[in-house]
Amino acid sequence: MIKRCKYIFLTILIISLFVPSMAYEDPGFDQDASKGTNNRGQAGYLFLLRPTNARQMALQESDKSGCNSAMMMFDNVAEIIELDGLSLAYTRQQLYDSLLMMNNFAITNKLSKRFAIGVTIRQMNSEEMKVTTLNDPDGESGLTYTYQDLAIGAGFAYRPTTRFSIGAKLKLISESIHTAQSTSFGFDVSTLYRLDFLNSKLSAGLENYGPESDFSGSGLWNLTDLTPENQDVEDTTDVNRKTQLLVDEFPLPTKIHVGFSSEIIGEKGFNVKDSVGRLSATLLKTNDQFESFSFGFEYKYQGLNRLELVGRAGAKYHQESDYNTGMGIGFGLNYEMQNDSNLNISYAYSPHEDLDSSHLMTIGFLF
């Protein structure tokens, strides 16, 4: 009991040390509590906040445990210790009428009963767009470019006791927009505690914690005519000067989550034949939005030979007023192949009021 309390206290301490960094404020903005946070638009690398797999989109990030897939490398690194052997998972998603394409890949390997490692690759790119400059704002030059985000991470999970595990991940992040580039790095830290009551799980995590970054590159340089506009006589001796645009530093989209999930339908809950139902709730907070609350339910039917059918639904509340991604639904299947191998496929749908609806599919293997 003393050891369990020690690990719980350590988890709370680690997360609380990073909470002050979430209070980042730009002195150029006025705080108005009635309108939410004043940090909107202050963080960069926002692709890191998008759901990485169909299960999380369907549940609206309400359950940071129980995924049974290598995709937990993105959501809760401490959970990968639950995966036996080698696990692979991949997600591909088109966004905003195919303007952006996102790919997420994860691989994990359990080295022992207490230790597991994993690697993630997250990439997002755009279709070709016109190059616009200060001198050519309409992009009439005919030149094009593509926008690209990339994050490569490596991490581990350690299980010191039967009920408690902790994980951490380091990731290198880059973003390129034509001839301007930005690079940074960030840390993820997460924990998972298993209770004996209804197979419940407590999870907590900190994502995308790292230093501020800025843009650099030839795209920030321009030739500028420094001749005063009100000068009557043309100065033919004056030449355009090479000037650099000044850019502000921006923080990573740091996020904290604290969640709870419980198996209300199952052996220890309401006993329904061949059925398992899991209820989940999570508090989410990022440094450029105020907190939101997610709730979800996942149902599994296990009455078929080697095949498990899954249905999911989730909702998110108390968001910024103009964020309209408040619900999701999805389904999946887990198929047990020969030689203790498993195949899992999941699909999720999330409607939007202003933009095209999101569709996401994830495929995973466990060897």
Contact 294/60 with Cβ under 8 angstroms?
Answer: yes
Distance, CA of 359 to CA of 57 (rounded, Å): 9
Pairing of strands 275-286, 86-95: unpaired
Please state the separation of Cα 157 from the chain's center in Å: 18
Distance, CA of 172 to CA of 155 (rounded, Å): 12
E strand spans, the chain: 86-95, 100-110, 115-126, 129-130, 144-145, 147-158, 164-177, 180-194, 201-209, 221-224, 241-244, 255-265, 275-286, 292-304, 307-317, 327-336, 342-350, 358-366
pLDDT at 19: 45
The residue written with tokens 């299947």 in the block is: 333
Distance, CA of 89 to CA of 342 (rounded, Å): 12
Distance, CA of 231 to CA of 184 (rounded, Å): 45
Provide the β-strand partners of residue 347: 331, 361
Distance, CA of 233 to CA of 231 (rounded, Å): 6
In one-letter notation, the amino acid at residue 237 is: T
Encode the chain (367 residues) as per-residue pLDDT tens digits.
445 455 544 554 444 444 444 444 444 444 444 444 456 667 788 888 888 899 999 998 888 887 888 999 998 999 999 888 899 999 988 877 777 888 999 999 999 999 999 999 999 988 887 887 777 778 777 788 888 899 999 999 999 998 999 999 999 999 888 778 889 999 999 999 998 888 899 999 999 998 988 887 776 666 666 666 655 555 555 556 666 677 778 888 999 999 999 999 988 878 888 899 999 999 988 887 778 889 999 999 988 888 899 999 999 886 665 555 678 999 999 988 877 788 999 999 888 766 677 888 899 888 8
pLDDT at 6: 52
Contact 211/198 with Cβ under 8 angstroms?
Answer: no
Question: Under CATH, which number does the domain 2-23+38-212+219-227+237-366 receive?
Answer: 2.40.160.60
Which structure tokens are listed for 210?
């790292």
Each domain of the chain, given as residue ranges in start order, spans 2-23+38-212+219-227+237-366
pLDDT at 214: 81
Contact 309/326 with Cβ under 8 angstroms?
Answer: no
Which structure tokens are listed for 317?
């509340």
Q: What angle do CA 203, 205, 208 make, to 5 degrees?
A: 155
pTM, rounded to two decimals: 0.78
pLDDT at 33: 43
Distance, CA of 91 to CA of 358 (rounded, Å): 13
User: How many other CB atoms sit within 10 Å of the CB of residue 355?
Assistant: 13
For residue 335, give the nearest of 324, 326, 327, 346 by alpha carbon: 346
In three-state form (DSSP H/G/I as H, E/B as E, the rest C), the secondary structure along 240-295 is: CEEEECCCCCECCCCEEEEEEEEEEECCCCECCCCEEEEEEEEEEEECCCCCEEEE
Which structure tokens are listed for 90?
């991949």
Distance, CA of 340 to CA of 332 (rounded, Å): 19
Residues contacting 346, CB < 8 A, separation 6+ = 53, 54, 55, 58, 310, 330, 331, 332, 361, 362
pLDDT at 151: 94
Distance, CA of 86 to CA of 109 (rounded, Å): 5
